[in-house]
């Protein structure tokens, strides 16, 4: 009996592991890649906060500018690094070996991240960094336990604490460790996250909007033809509707004499 139970437990823990080590519920979002202003805001956030570490090496700056309706001159001034041309791919100068030593893992290219994970995963990931002094950078993440990335948007979102049996702070975590539970914060079941008052520059709704735009942009770079395909689809439908009217009139014309 004990063996059977052990096998069941082992099976379920391997299932959770396969799912990425976290069963944190993902927030659902409806992306809209026809919303050019949202994509432009996402591009701005990416170039300010992410481009220092993460490349978009399968996408040319020029393509992004054209698809998003950004003036090429502005793109060169605001986004394209000074040693690059607008026709270049969005690779970055950070050596991945050095980065792996600094962060424990190299920052992956983000061109396909929304495809590989899912837009919902990336959205929830950007919202669930929380204080965990047992981690080298002082933060952990709900959907990516033991993440090597710092919470680069912390000034905007504010400092988040996990609410467990009690609020985890830098001070009382040491007391907790002394209790010898042997579990790190990331392994403990702590439900919701709470932003510490006075640490955020943006309201919760503004931060959600910022991340939504960012994920919308990352989804677009993962499949830049989708925005175009959508436009073309509408024209095809309009054409078919128009064609139907003419076909119908023609049919009436032919059958007029038959009856
Ligand atoms: C200081 C460098 C740095 C900055 C800036 C940074 N990241 Fe990261 N990021 C990392 C590192 C390092 C990892 C790998 C973490 C690991 O594997 O533990 C990572 C991982 C990720 C992942 C998970 C990828 C995957 O599938 O495993 C996503 C998504 C991500 N970053 C998005 C962003 C976004 C969006 C921004 C801008 C708001 C950003 N990052 C800014 C260093 C950075």
**Pocket flag, ligand 1, residue 145 (CB < 6 Å):** no
With beta carbons less than 8 A apart as the criterion, state whether 75 and 39 touch: no
Who has greater pLDDT, 5 or 91? 91
- Domain ranges for the chain, please list them: 30-232
Say if pTM beats, i.e. exceeds, 0.85: no
Q: What is the CATH number of domain 30-232?
A: 1.10.760.10
Q: In the predicted model, is pLDDT for residue 99 greater than 60?
A: yes
- The Å distance, Cα 241 to ligand 1 centre, comes to 46
What is the percentage of the chain residues whose pLDDT exceeds 70?
80
**Pocket flag, ligand 1, residue 89 (CB < 6 Å):** no
- Angle CA 221–224–225, to nearest 5: 165
- The Å distance, Cα 63 to ligand 1 centre, comes to 23
Kindly report the number of other CB atoms within 10 A of residue 44's CB atom: 17
* Per-residue pLDDT, 232: 82
Name the residue among 119, 196, 110, 179 with its Cα closest to residue 149.
110
* Per-residue pLDDT, 188: 52
Q: In the predicted model, is pLDDT for residue 19 greater than 50?
A: no
What is the percentage of the chain residues whose pLDDT exceeds 90?
61
Model pLDDT for residues 35-44, shown as the tens digit of each residue: 999 999 999 9
* Residue 246 tokens, joined: 């003419």
Closest Cα to atom 36 of ligand 1: 50
* Per-residue pLDDT, 92: 81
* Per-residue pLDDT, 105: 86
State the Cα–Cα distance between residues 59 and 111, nearest whole angstrom: 7
Q: In the predicted model, is pLDDT for residue 136 greater than 70?
A: yes
Kindly report the number of other CB atoms within 10 A of residue 120's CB atom: 17
Model pLDDT for residues 33-92, shown as the tens digit of each residue: 889 999 999 999 999 999 999 999 999 999 999 999 999 999 999 999 999 999 999 988
State the Cα–Cα distance between residues 136 and 134, nearest whole angstrom: 7
- The Å distance, Cα 247 to ligand 1 centre, comes to 55
Identify the band that residue 240 occupies on the pLDDT scale cut at 50, 70 and 90.
very high
**Pocket flag, ligand 1, residue 149 (CB < 6 Å):** yes
**Pocket flag, ligand 1, residue 152 (CB < 6 Å):** yes
State the Cα–Cα distance between residues 144 and 232, nearest whole angstrom: 38
Identify the band that residue 222 occupies on the pLDDT scale cut at 50, 70 and 90.
very high
């Amino acid at each position: 009996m004990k063996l059977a139970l052990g096998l069941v437990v082992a099976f379920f823990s391997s299932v959770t592991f396969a799912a990425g080590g976290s069963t944190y519920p993902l927030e659902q979002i409806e992306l809209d890649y026809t919303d050019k202003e949202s994509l432009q805001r996402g591009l701005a956030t990416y170039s300010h906060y992410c481009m220092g570490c993460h490349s978009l090496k399968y996408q040319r700056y020029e393509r992004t500018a054209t698809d998003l309706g950004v003036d090429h001159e502005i793109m060169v001034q605001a986004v394209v690094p000074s040693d690059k041309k607008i026709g270049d791919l969005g690779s970055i100068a950070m050596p991945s070996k050095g980065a792996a030593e600094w962060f424990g893992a190299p920052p992956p290219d983000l061109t396909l991240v929304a495809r590989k994970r899912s837009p919902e995963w990336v959205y929830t990931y950007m919202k669930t960094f929380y204080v965990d002094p047992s981690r080298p950078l002082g933060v952990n993440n709900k959907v990516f336990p033991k993440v090597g990335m710092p919470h680069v948007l912390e000034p905007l979102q504010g400092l988040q604490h996990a609410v467990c049996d009690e609020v985890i702070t830098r001070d009382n975590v040491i007391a907790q460790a002394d209790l010898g539970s042997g579990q790190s914060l990331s392994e403990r079941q702590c439900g919701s996250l709470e932003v510490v008052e006075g640490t955020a520059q943006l309201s919760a709704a503004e931060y959600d909007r910022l991340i939504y735009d960012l994920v919308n942009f990352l989804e677009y770079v993962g499949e830049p033809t989708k925005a175009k395909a959508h436009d073309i689809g509408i024209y095809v439908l309009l054409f078919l509707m128009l064609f139907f009217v003419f076909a119908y009139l023609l049919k009436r014309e032919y059958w007029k004499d038959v009856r």
